[in-house]
Amino acid sequence: MEEGEGIANCFNVRHFPDDKYLVIATRQGIIKKTALSAYGRPMKGGIIAIRLDDGDALVDVRIVQGDQDLVLSTSGGMAIRFSHEDARPMGRATRGVKGITLTRDETVVGMVVADPDRTLLSICEQGYGKRTPFGPADAAAGDVAGEVLPEDQNLAVAEDSVAEEVAEDTADESSPGSNMKYRRQRRGGKGLRDIKTTARNGRVVDVLSVSDDDQVLMVTSRGKIQRVRAADISTIGRNTQGVRIIRLDEGDTLVSCAVIPGDVIDEATAKAAALAAATPLLPAVDGPITPPSLSEPATDAEV
């Protein structure tokens, strides 16, 4: 790797079909989708996956297929859910297209696949966060699921609808239960308010897709690590401040988080139980055990 370069994500992939796609998200809100088959011939020095603009950096990578949706989240607490089919497949050595419109001081912090059976965990730098269900992929008004607009028309729609989406979000909060999900929108817009980035919370540092069986590993800037059950984190609606997830020392901040899948935890627990069952127990001995005297000759039983 070149100086300043690092690993962003890893996947265990056996097959590289044409109907699965690798989607890349950058810090400045650009996404790029390429067929997984384009990565089926790796080279010793690696292969180009995306051409980055000056000052931009890769943030997250996901594998998608079928009619799956993606969620992009920003440091300012915004999130946008859109169908991966809104982005046309491109070659590897290309720039990509706009995934979300950012304000001047915002950056993209993460991208996850929207699973209706899971929740989006948003975590802020001051140790506060919350979970919100992804919910079903209800299309926004005028949005047709699966329809792909030409690139120039798609970007024009996205750029012209930023103010409209903010107004829709405000109106959406008044509908009962509407803030307990992320409705599908067109990619390239500003998105919906996910979590409030107040002085108490700070900026968003990471987002994760979790279920009740998962655990979350959190790391602070001073090297403190804490592991919590996802089920212990409150599930509440969007546009809220959340609850305290980790208690930080003065001057410390949360910098990174990771999911420990529930099936991995169950497998580790089962292995530990099997090992304990296979280990023979020593027989109980009444009274203290006295070692043989060094001054006396050892018997056959003592050797």
Question: Residue 50 maps to which CATH number?
Answer: 2.120.10.90
In-domain check, residue 182: yes
Least confident segment among 7-11, 190-194, 206-210, 243-247? 7-11
pLDDT band (50, 70, 90) for residue 15: confident
Name the domain count of the chain: 1
Q: Which residues contact 52 (CB under 8 A, 6 or more apart)?
A: 26, 58, 95
Residue 61, domain extent: 20-276
In-domain check, residue 3: no
Name the more confident of 128 and 155. Answer: 128
Other CB atoms within a 10 A radius of the CB of residue 51 amount to 13
User: Does residue 154 register a pLDDT over 80?
Assistant: no
In-domain check, residue 12: no
pLDDT band (50, 70, 90) for residue 290: low
In-domain check, residue 293: no
| Averaged pLDDT of the chain | 82
Q: Using an 8 Å Cβ cutoff, are 70 and 84 in contact? A: yes
Three-point CA angle 133, 139, 141, nearest 5°: 130
In-domain check, residue 298: no
pLDDT in tens, 36-64: 999 888 777 788 888 999 989 999 999 99
- Dist CA 176 CA 241 (whole Å): 19
Other CB atoms within a 10 A radius of the CB of residue 177 amount to 8
User: Does residue 226 register a pLDDT over 60?
Assistant: yes
pLDDT of residue 144: 38
Query: Percent of the chain at pLDDT above 70?
Result: 77
Query: Percent of the chain at pLDDT above 90?
Result: 58
In-domain check, residue 249: yes
Least confident segment among 128-132, 171-175, 211-215, 235-239? 171-175
User: Does residue 23 register a pLDDT over 70?
Assistant: yes
Q: Which residues contact 5 (CB under 8 A, 6 or more apart)?
A: none
pLDDT of residue 161: 45
pLDDT of residue 22: 94
In-domain check, residue 263: yes
Name the more confident of 170 and 21. Answer: 21
pLDDT of residue 153: 44
pLDDT of residue 281: 60
- Dist CA 217 CA 256 (whole Å): 8
In-domain check, residue 295: no
